[in-house]
């Protein structure tokens, strides 16, 4: 075993969720409260368009969602515009 394999790993990871469903790693956190704070700050201060998900462990298990209702509004708006355009 090498030293890197013994290093403590982040238990919680925050991902940005784009409207197309892809995810992008934003940050890693050792404790739930810091991950929660990062997700809350992301949707209220830093990014008003995307959603965020906080995952725990491996395999990943989602423990919190931030701003996911935004994605539904964007999908509904796209569907509505395509329906109007086809009339």
The structure tokens listed for 52 are: 């965020």
- Looking at residue 68, its pLDDT comes to 86
Q: What span, in angstroms and rounded, lies between the C-alpha atoms of 42 and 45?
A: 6
Taking alpha carbons only, the member of 67, 8, 71, 21 closest to residue 42 is 67
Per-residue model confidence (pLDDT) at position 14: 96
Percentage of the chain beyond pLDDT 70 is 72
CB 13 within 8 A of CB 54: yes
According to the model, what pLDDT value does residue 59 have? 87
Tell me what pLDDT residue 66 has: 93
The pTM score is 0.71
51 phi and psi, to 5 degrees? -105, 170
Q: What is the pLDDT of residues 30-58, one digit of tens each?
A: 999 999 999 999 999 988 888 999 999 88
Strand 12-17 versus strand 51-56 pairing type: antiparallel
């Amino acid at each position: 075993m090498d030293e890197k394999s013994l290093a403590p790993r982040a238990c919680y990871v925050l991902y940005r969720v784009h409207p197309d469903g892809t995810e992008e790693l934003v940050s890693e956190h050792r404790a739930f409260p810091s991950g929660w704070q990062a997700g809350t700050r992301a949707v209220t201060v830093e990014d008003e368009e995307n959603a965020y998900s906080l995952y725990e462990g491996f395999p990943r298990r989602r423990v919190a969602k931030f701003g996911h209702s935004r994605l539904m509004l964007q999908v509904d708006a796209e569907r509505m515009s395509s329906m109007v355009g086809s009339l």
